[in-house]
Structure 1
């Protein structure tokens, strides 16, 4: 008997919810890092390693299977990725040392990498032609998901003696059910030939999208680098610099930036993509500057307010970057291109944060954050200037001429 399929609108919103849940799960460990530090006795360097190994696993997955759903279909990749996400939650449940945490984060990274490009492509496939919400949902999902995951975990820490079984047990069930839901979605992939060839690690940027992609790189690095610092060391900053040791306060910092990021994307949805990207970068740069002032003066209120304003800039700039880079991309290249965008993002997300964790042991967390913020400001301003200088760029070439990937 054939499986009943969801309508396109129902399928679109189902994928959107699943994407938010996957990204929420990736944010859950952030407020729990301090709990794990207390339980397993490790310092900031190991903490950022646990954080960073997730991003490296995610990058490996994006590079290898990021475009696979363009060839084998969206449904099988979605189902497999969600089941692997459930396995990662089970490993978190069993964790009794750093080794288990590393294993759980690797599995979670592999799953999230496989799902990110696939879900993003499915949203572009399933969106209404007269109301293209795919880029908006793709851009606001990271902020919304990470905020929900971090605040949910923070509340669990405060409410129950052992939060891990509650958090990861619920998520395990959710992802198993999500894998079943994946097979009720209509198949939207063009299923191009060359599935095995697509597994060769590559950054797949069609020729027509290469110029806007390169212009967007400094923007993506700046935004995600700051996000990586907040998610890995943000709760430690609130405790070490401002003396705010409550676990929920660290989660609220993540909410300020990531939640405001989702709001920023919504507020900028009617702006031209290039204007949203440039304006968002400038707002982000100014807000990070105010955040640095808060570290120097010890003003906790300014720290949280500037984090929220930085989030607004993040959301607008990321929405603009995604819409600018994906404009006119052929349907059979969507998953690969979106995966390439997230490759850049997660490189910026992971490597600087790991470097900051290692440096903080030598020069201190506050000095590290100040230098880190200054570099991020320079990148964000450079992105806005580069966008202005780039002009509108040449017209897109036909899809059949834009299929050549950039090898990694």
Structure 2
């Protein structure tokens, strides 16, 4: 009897474990707001504690993003799960913000190592009739994990006296179970030479998708700045501008956009990739305009409506952009390409929030938010123009290529 799981079981299980990484990434959002009240650290320190995760993830992507193309998927997946387990242990014993920052950095390193390897493994384990869905499922795992992590932790903060222990203890157990699961999956990538050379920081983008990759940069920047606002900046906006500091309202506000994005990834997977990308960018732009209206009028339901519209856009745009690229890369190139995509994504997720956290004490929270929103709207508009131009070119290609 075979000791390895069927491709269908491995496909579903790997997607669930990948989502658990991002559940863990979303979990600290309500806890950081609570810790700021308890420990008294600055808004700049809070945003750095949130965003150091993205910086650690970026380092791991640049250094180890292609590693599973050389060593195979399973060894890298197991190493990433082990690193995430260590991070959860540090969260459990953290007694001040310094330890939380260490845990977030370790978490980012582990998730960066996992991201390209899991994304590639999910595609490779997907049954033939689900191959087109696999790229969208990877995007949905990211968004859905972030959403559920924020909501579950917000509820734990609101209703239990030991939210930190409950959340990170459970996640540590999930990572142990994940290691056991991965051991029983089949290897989908043949080891090949060059593992040490692959550790040199670089982004691997094959020539045949380079133009599409570059055109997708504004898509990823605006899309990922959207959940970054809700996960990284909205707790401060809610507490200081709306005078709301409950764990549940913080968690729910951070939950809405990424959760809708996860659902949208599946919905838009049935539509042409270019159309999904363009529609997504329009929704991201409109969503942030609605968010601005909600913040400036201090109207929480309007803020939530903006989160829903922006979440639809994030899911449509990010999933669509993946579907424009993934079908055109070779198996041995997958991890490197996903590393490139997520490098752009997590620069957009982390760096603007760090900048905003440093500017807010000097400029004020709301003027800083307005600048953040203005940059996001401008980049989204640029993405719409570029993607619409590519769409028009594709629509005329059959007519110009005839005899």
**TM-score, length of structure 2 as denominator length:** 0.95
2:308 maps to 308
Q: Secondary structure at the match of 1:130?
A: helix
Q: Secondary structure at the match of 2:328?
A: coil
Contact 2:8 2:125 in 1 (8 A): yes
1:399 maps to none
Match status 1:276 vs 2:276: yes
Following TM superposition, by how much is the alpha carbon of 1:387 offset from its aligned partner in structure 2, in angstroms?
1.3
Q: Secondary structure at the match of 1:202?
A: coil
Contact 2:226 2:310 in 1 (8 A): no
How do 1:211-250 and structure 2 match up within 5 A? 211-250=211-250
2:157 maps to 157
Say what the alpha-carbon RMSD is for the aligned residues.
Answer: 1.5
Structure 2: distance between partners of 1:187 and 1:173: 24
Structure 2: distance between partners of 1:242 and 1:224: 24
Deviates more, 1:219-228 or 1:104-113: 219-228
Structure 2: distance between partners of 1:226 and 1:38: 25
How do 1:124-135 and structure 2 match up within 5 A? 124-132=123-131, 133-135=133-135
Deviates more, 1:276-285 or 1:225-234: 225-234
Contact 1:190 1:331 in 2 (8 A): no
1:22 maps to 21
Q: Secondary structure at the match of 1:292?
A: helix
Structure 1: distance between partners of 2:298 and 2:173: 43
Structure 2: distance between partners of 1:53 and 1:300: 28
Structure 1: distance between partners of 2:139 and 2:174: 23
The number of residue pairs the alignment matches comes to 393
Following TM superposition, by how much is the alpha carbon of 1:25 offset from its aligned partner in structure 2, in angstroms?
0.4
CA change 1:202–1:392 in 2 (3 A) is farther
How do 1:352-367 and structure 2 match up within 5 A? 352-367=352-367
Following TM superposition, by how much is the alpha carbon of 1:34 offset from its aligned partner in structure 2, in angstroms?
1.2
Match status 1:96 vs 2:128: no
CA change 1:3–1:182 in 2 (3 A) is farther
**TM-score, length of structure 1 as denominator length:** 0.94
Following TM superposition, by how much is the alpha carbon of 1:245 offset from its aligned partner in structure 2, in angstroms?
2.1
Match status 1:336 vs 2:344: no
Following TM superposition, by how much is the alpha carbon of 1:304 offset from its aligned partner in structure 2, in angstroms?
0.7
C-alpha offsets along residues 104-133 of structure 1, whole Å, 9 cap, x if unaligned?
111101100000110000011111223322
Contact 1:289 1:374 in 2 (8 A): no
Q: Secondary structure at the match of 2:254?
A: helix
1:63 maps to 62
Contact 2:83 2:110 in 1 (8 A): yes
Following TM superposition, by how much is the alpha carbon of 1:287 offset from its aligned partner in structure 2, in angstroms?
1.4
Following TM superposition, by how much is the alpha carbon of 1:371 offset from its aligned partner in structure 2, in angstroms?
1.6
Q: Secondary structure at the match of 2:216?
A: helix
Contact 2:74 2:187 in 1 (8 A): yes
1:289 maps to 289
Structure 2: distance between partners of 1:183 and 1:190: 16
Structure 1: distance between partners of 2:148 and 2:64: 27
For structure 1, list consecutive stretches of 5 or more residues without a partner in the other structure.
396-408
How do 1:250-265 and structure 2 match up within 5 A? 250-265=250-265
Structure 2: distance between partners of 1:221 and 1:78: 27
Deviates more, 1:383-392 or 1:298-307: 383-392
Structure 2: distance between partners of 1:215 and 1:93: 42
1:350 maps to 350
Structure 1: distance between partners of 2:220 and 2:352: 13
Following TM superposition, by how much is the alpha carbon of 1:327 offset from its aligned partner in structure 2, in angstroms?
2.5
